[in-house]
Amino acid sequence: MIDGSFRSRFERLVEPVGRGLERIGVSPDVITAVGVMMAGACAVAIGTERYPLAFVLLILTGLPDALDGAVAKAGGRTSIRGAYLDSVSDRLSDGLLFAGAGWNLAGSETPTMAMLPFGLYIAASLVSYQRAKAESLGYHAKGGLMERGERFIALGFGLFFSSLFVATLWVMFILTVLTAGARFVKVWRQAEGPPPTSDRGARPTTGAEG
């Protein structure tokens, strides 16, 4: 849902910041790497139940994800390689965050709850994969109740209101599974018709997909 008009407005908002970072020589690849490192630090904070710190680090994980594209556009350095790096980094960051949640729950009174973040990561990966695969085939698979942007916001809510952390993970899991199912149905129905024309052929997806 967020990956639409809201994202376009947000990208326009960070354009001046992107131009400023590009002028001082900051590489978009470096910004992407910083985002992954922040995700790793956030995972450790989640795993050790330092929720306020984890909340701050989650914000610092999301900012580079928004700025690397702005810097690349400002410097005219957008490329397939950059989009590929961004997408892979997003998957790695997601994995680190869910691993931190699993670490957290593994040390709880019910350690089997660690399977919840594991299942959530599987569902989230399926959501992202379906969009990437569909677009490579010329179909559309955007949309859903729990894309990557919504997952970030929901996880931030669970960290800020730490007493609701587990409940938030359950809501994320249910909505992510529903999103994966909706995307499957969407592409399945498109595939019932004639094959996509060449102008709708494979295009590189960016790290924005979720």
The full set of domain ranges for the chain reads 5-200
Per-residue pLDDT tens over the stretch 40-77: 999 999 999 999 999 999 999 988 877 877 777 777 77
Candidates 3, 65, 68, 90; catalytic one: 90
Q: What is the overall mean pLDDT for the chain?
A: 86
Q: Which residue has the tokens 């295009």?
A: 203
**Alpha-carbon gap, residue 118 to 114, rounded angstroms:** 7
CATH architecture, domain defined by 5-200: Up-down Bundle (1.20)
Treating both helix axes as pointing N-terminal to C-terminal, what angle do 80-106 and 51-74 enclose, rounded to 10 degrees? 180
Give the Cα-Cα-Cα angle 15, 16, 22 (nearest 5 degrees): 90
Give me 53's structure tokens: 């710190």
The pTM assigned to this predicted structure is 0.85
- Active-site annotation holds for 68: no
* Helices and strands counted in the chain (H then E): 7, 0
